[in-house]
Amino acid sequence: MDLRQLYNRDKEALKEVQNYLVAFLKEFGINKMFKGEDTKAVGEAKIILDEAFDNLDTLFGPKPKKRKIKNESR
C-alpha cells in the first residue's frame, strides 16, 4: 500500500500513524527535558510533522472543480 492509497482508503490508520509519531515525539522531548538538554528542535519537529500531514490534503485530497468562465466582453 502506498501513501496515496493509505490517504484515500484508510483515514483511521493514517490518523493512528500521526498519533503514534506525535506521542513518540512527546516522549522523546520529555526525555531530553529531564536530561536538561535543549528541546527547541522537538518543537520544530512537531511543527514540521503537522505540516507534512496537512500537505497530504494538498497532494491527495479532492481537486477543485474547474469553473468555466465566460468572457463577457465578446
The cell numbers describing 48, all together, are 514540521
DSSP 48-63: HHHHHHHHHHHHHSPP
Across 56-73, average pLDDT: 81
What is the predicted pLDDT for the residue at 40? 96
- Which pLDDT band holds residue 48 (cuts at 50, 70, 90)? very high
Contacts of 3 (CB under 8 A, 6+ apart): 56, 60
pTM summary value: 0.76
Is the CA virtual torsion 53, 54, 57, 60 positive or negative? negative
Q: Residue 20: which region, alpha, beta or left (left: phi > 0; alpha: psi -120 to 50)?
A: alpha
What is the predicted pLDDT for the residue at 74? 63
